[in-house]
Amino acid sequence: MSKIISGFSKFTKEQKINWLTENYFKNKAETANIIKQYWNTDADLQELHDDFIENTISNFYMPFGVAPNFVINNKTYTIPMVVEESSVVAAASLVGKFWSTRGGFKTTVLGTTKIGQVHFMYAGNKNELENYFNLNKTELLAATASITKNMEKRGGGILDIKLVDKTAKLENYYQLHVTFETKDSMGANFINSCLEAIAKQFEKEDIEIVMSILSNYVPECVVRAEVSCKIEELGGENPQKFAEKFYQAVKIAEVEPYRAVTHNKGIMNGIDAVVLATGNDFRAVEAGAHSYASKSGEYSSLSHCDISNGIFKFWIELPLALGTVGGLTALHPMAKLSLEMLQKPSARTLMQIMAAAGLAQNFAALRALTTKGIQHGHMKMHLQNILNQFEATDKEKEIITAYFDKRTVTHSAVVEKINSLRKPKVNWVQFLDENSIRTQLLKLNKASKPLFGLMNAQQMIEHLSLLMQISNGKINADHYVSDEKSARRKPFLDTEGELQIGFRASILSDEPTPEKFETIEKALNNLIAEIKNFEVHFKTEKVENHPFFGELDYEYWKKFHTKHFTHHFKQFGLV
């Protein structure tokens, strides 16, 4: 199939998926299954979601969490949050509870005016344009009567229309600057419809309308949220020092744009999560907030702090153009649930709730940054994401979470710990269990082939017996091993590590030793005898020399033989 396609929007959902998998994915069946597994089993509900946008093929899930214990203007809220970033909800919850015992959040709406503009070009006399505007202003308002009728019943509508001269910045450029009150509606469709009606009424031969569109910069639709308490009530070992560092952190964000961008991004972590949960437009909110942060001509912090007179005060002012009726808020079941959770707020109240969430998120980030560092808490939360990525079991999560309780969390460290837990446990051979050893080795015969190495089955048995004889003091293996080498090598016997393929003490020959006994059975009987002698020998002897590890006592010889037997049992596939 071609990757350039016509009429794609007319395809059924199945046809769209087929076209995508054919053109962009290697495993077509698996891709289609992943896409479809996120469909809602309720066909009507899925159809509702399909109709939100165009060319829908599936749903993209985001976690829906809640942050309880927010006291805002003496009213308690549990705030819904939709966000994929770990630690956001946890931080908001902790801060909500922290300030709930210190007076809570105090919020005020400073304005709810929204803005739209008709952009046009006019090359004529400015005075004539002004006269034309003034004469027709009433007609411009009248042109929107059918649109504004219902909004005016709710106390909203068009507040004013102004003619603005922008020719100093762009030749022949003017605009009609229109201000609106949209009450509980975000009002995008309402504003744009009014603007288009105004533009149509205003346009004439020498006025060229370029476009009519709302602005997401709403510096008169602003909310303020604040927390405050005595510095001594902040808690911790040194609340005064904490307050001073916190204050400096905010001041840095006020004067340093590089820091301010990240600072404000943290604020928007909290706000965007509530915007998404309530079905509002997070892109519009983001654009408005960041432009407001630049209103002085330089990008700066949206939050501010004061610690004078022994009082810690932390506040935020930012524009939030929101709605609680219409649009997705009225269609998406989870958005409706979120608004009900928030006790069915007006748009003004929702502005205050979101501002509190943003301030809480900022407080949490600055508290972490100025004390333990941002990664301490963030990586603890990120730990769960890593564990989920590797499909850790509940038991693995319990072990690994406890392991990192007082350790630094890094991706590589977590992966290493997961791998260590999942590393197959060695099935060590219990060489002192004579019956088990005999049963296993009787499975071998002259035709048995090794999985590695050159020894045949009988040579392997006789080799095990040789090392048993060395430990039993029957063969002199006084090959000198310095104390330094022994100290370096012996700790290996205390580990779970196995003898590597090819391991060989230097006194042993490269080639297998010729068979000593006539049959495997006789060689096996000799080995069993040496195993019995091992226990007897160390009742009187303290140590025997190993040609590689040096002097070993009974316990270390046991560890060696366990590894040695296991190594050679694996050689012939017995374990």
- The catalytic residues are 85, 265, 281, 378
- Taking the C-alpha atoms of residue 106 and residue 472, their distance in angstroms, rounded to an integer, is 83
Spatial CB neighbours of 251, under 8 Å, sequence gap ≥ 6: 305
Are 257 and 299 within 8 A, CB to CB? yes
Q: Which two tokens stand for residue 126?
A: 């400015």
179 phi, psi to nearest 5 deg: -110, 145
- Taking the C-alpha atoms of residue 75 and residue 104, their distance in angstroms, rounded to an integer, is 9
- Taking the C-alpha atoms of residue 372 and residue 115, their distance in angstroms, rounded to an integer, is 43
Spatial CB neighbours of 12, under 8 Å, sequence gap ≥ 6: none
Q: Which two tokens stand for residue 148?
A: 């504004």
Are 550 and 486 within 8 A, CB to CB? yes
Which residue is listed with tokens 């009609």?
Answer: 176
Q: How many helices (H) and strands (E) does the chain have?
A: 20, 12
Closest CA relative to residue 159, chosen from 127, 119, 131, 187 = 187
Buried b / exposed e along 464-474 (16+ C-beta atoms within 10 A): bbbbbbbbbbe
For the chain, what is the radius of gyration of the CA atoms?
A: 38
Q: At what angle do helices 554-571 and 457-471 cross, to 10 degrees?
A: 180
Strand order across the 157-165 sheet: 157-165, 173-181, 114-122, 207-215
Closest CA relative to residue 288, chosen from 210, 153, 205, 188 = 188
Closest CA relative to residue 121, chosen from 172, 182, 184 = 172
- Taking the C-alpha atoms of residue 222 and residue 456, their distance in angstroms, rounded to an integer, is 86
- Taking the C-alpha atoms of residue 469 and residue 526, their distance in angstroms, rounded to an integer, is 10
Per DSSP, the residues of 505-534 read -TTS-SSPPPP-SSSHHHHHHHHHHHHHHH
3-state class percentages of the chain: helix first, strand second, coil last, to nearest 5: 50, 15, 35
- Taking the C-alpha atoms of residue 430 and residue 437, their distance in angstroms, rounded to an integer, is 8
Q: How many CB atoms lie within 10 A of CB 214?
A: 24
C-alpha to C-alpha distances, 232 to 24, 96, 303, 524, nearest whole angstrom: 61, 19, 22, 80
Distance of CA 243 to the CA centre of its chain: 29
Paired with 122 in beta bridges are: 207
Paired with 65 in beta bridges are: 81
